Each structure stands twice: as structure tokens, then as C-alpha cells.
Amino acid sequence: MPDAPEEVVRLAEERADARSSRDFAAADALRDRIAGSGWTVVDDPGGYRLEPTSGSEPELPARRRAVEVPSILQDVPDMDATVHWVCEGWHEDIERAIAAFRAHEGGRSVQYVVADVTDRDPTAWGEGVDVVWLEQATGWAAARNAGIRRTRGRIVLMADGSVEPTGDVFEPLEEALEDPGVGVCGPFGIVTHDLRQFDEARTGDVDAIEGYLMALRRETLVEVGFFDEKFRWYRTADIEFSFRVKNLDRRATIVDVPVTKHDHRMWFETRPEDRARWSKRNFYRFLDRFRDRWDLLVDPLPEGERPHHHHDRHDHDETDG
């Protein structure tokens, strides 16, 4: 491959500086100038590379299988935080969330990652969003895992497009995670007394953090591992993941952060019979693993009142996503 001219390299360096300063308008303009010189700038985890532009229209990047996405979790983090989404539709919700996070970064370096399983042109996400473009048949947990393999941040936020920050959410989450006894935190939590029915909680330590917004340290993520990829539908994956974090002898705790929670469209726009069937299947996958782990609960039933296996039921929050 030929070396890029000095002028093109200079423009690419200016663009890298603009991206670091979050001046995405300037970065876009510089990218266009580079393209006008017959070169394409390709962003890599460690920086960028320059490739000569062919005479034909640029092709979209190839879709990837989730298992083929390489992990950089063992690398030294070079960003303050990474925020992740899985896009199975309704990209405008995620774009709203990204804009709100950017507005309240407070001088932090923040990486935004979208694992996209839709047919949308991945370049439409624009500058400053790391897009992992996956096969459309990819399940929810596999897509989430593919995204989090690209984490560059010291703290990891896993979000849903229904959650929109209205202020700085990073600072209170960072402060909570300074406590080594806290494994996972976020603004929405649930508790159970019988390992069958889960109810919303408002404050304090809880049995699970809901996946609308959950945060943990990078090293905790490395230690606990990825989401169980048999969760092809999102429901209960957050509970199972929280329980695995708690199994490391760390707490799940609610942190008050400034967010608005909009309608969770994956729930409300899925046919009721489908979401009931998929939710039940996921719940029993969790229950098969943790049905007797009373030691992980904040406030379990007394031993004599605990349900036997033939009384298992799934009452987790069926009216809400």
C-alpha cells in the first residue's frame, strides 16, 4: 500500500485532534477533505490508518458474527468511560441518549459503542460512535457481548435507548464504584424475597440492577465475564448478570442519577404472546441456576417459608419492560 502524502497525513492528524476534542463537525469536514484527496481515513481502537480510495463507490463494512468481534478488554483502558447500547430497532432513541450523554460528559473522555443488528447503514451513526455491525439474526446477549468486547473505558455503562440523561450521570456512578464492595450499580433496581417474584426498589442495596442503565468497573466486567448468550431476548438477562456479580461477594446498589425513562419500545412493540413466552423461558434459565441461592438476597424469606421447586412461578414485572 502506498504511503499517504504529507498533506493528507497532516489533515488526518488534525482530524484525530478534533475527534479527541469532541469537535465532530470539524472532524467530518476534515474527513471529507481527505476523501477529496483520494484517501480514506479508517478509525482503529489505537488510532487511525489511511487507505487509498478506489474509483468505485465505497462499500459498507461487512457484517460480523458476534463471536468474531475481537476483545480489547485485556488492554490498558485509555478512556474514562464507555457507554454501550444494543440496537435492534428504534435507532432514534439511542441517538437521543447519545446526544444527552455527550451534553453532560463534564470533560471526561467517553467512548460510545452501538452493537447494531439492523439493516441501517452503519455510517449513519456519524462521527464519534463505534459501531459493531452484526448479523441480523444475532441474539440480544450475543450482541451486547460483541459491543462490550470493544470497551476502552475504565468504567462500563450498559444502557437502553429508553433512558435519557438530564444531567451528569457519570459522577455519581463513578463515586459509587469507588467502593470496592459495590459490584454493579444504576438508578433502577429490584428486590425479591422468594427468588420468584421481583419488585421495584427505590434506594439502597438490591438484588439486581435493571438493564435500563447498569454500571460497573472494567475489572469487574473482566472477572464476571460476558452475558449468557442463550438470552436471545433481553428480559431477565440483567437479573442473571447481577446475580453473577453478587456471587463475587459484591453488592448491587441503587445510585440516584439524573435520567428520564421513556417507553421501552422493545417491550411495548413486541406482541404480548411473544414477550410472555420469551420472558418465561429466560426466567426459568435464571431460576435453574440460582433457585437456591438465598445467600445472594438482601432480605430472603425465613428458611421455613421458602418455596419448593414445584411452586416456581414467574411474576417478574410482566406489565413493564
Domain ranges of the chain: 6-52, 66-288
CA angle 33, 36, 37 (to 5 degrees): 95
Contacts of 191 (CB under 8 A, 6+ apart): 198, 199, 201, 206, 207, 297, 298, 299
Which pLDDT does position 116 carry in this prediction? 94
The answer to whether residue 103 scores a pLDDT higher than 80 is yes
pLDDT band at 309 (very low <50, low <70, confident <90, very high): low
CA dihedral (7, 12, 16, 19) positive or negative: positive
Alpha-carbon span 18 to 278, nearest angstrom: 45
* Position with higher pLDDT, 65 vs 155: 155
- In this predicted structure, what is the pLDDT of residue 61? 60
* Superfamily of the domain at 66-288: Spore Coat Polysaccharide Biosynthesis Protein SpsA; Chain A (3.90.550.10)
Nearest Cα neighbor of 16 from 46, 38, 60, 58 is: 46
Most confident of 35-39, 61-65, 124-128, 199-203: 199-203
**What's the pLDDT at 98?**
96
The string of pLDDT tens digits covering residues 11-54 is 999 988 888 787 777 888 888 888 877 888 887 767 888 888 76
Q: Give the model confidence (pLDDT) of 166-177 as tens digits.
A: 999 999 999 999
Instruction: Kindly report the average pLDDT of the chain as a whole number.
Output: 89
pTM of the model: 0.78
Grid cell 414467574 is found at 314
Looking at the predicted structure, is the pLDDT value of residue 96 above 90?
yes
Lowest mean pLDDT among 25-39, 98-112, 198-212: 25-39
Percent of the chain with pLDDT over 90: 67
Q: What is the pLDDT of residue 54?
A: 64
Exposure class string for 302-318: b at 16+ Cβ within 10 A, else e: eeeebeeeeeeebebbe
Which tens digits make up the pLDDT trace of 206-263? Answer: 999 999 999 999 999 999 999 999 999 999 999 999 999 999 999 999 999 999 999 9
pLDDT value at residue 321: 63
Task: For residue 219, give the C-alpha cell.
Answer: 475489572
Work out whether the CA dihedral 137, 141, 147, 150 comes out positive or negative. Answer: negative
Has residue 79 got a pLDDT over 60?
yes
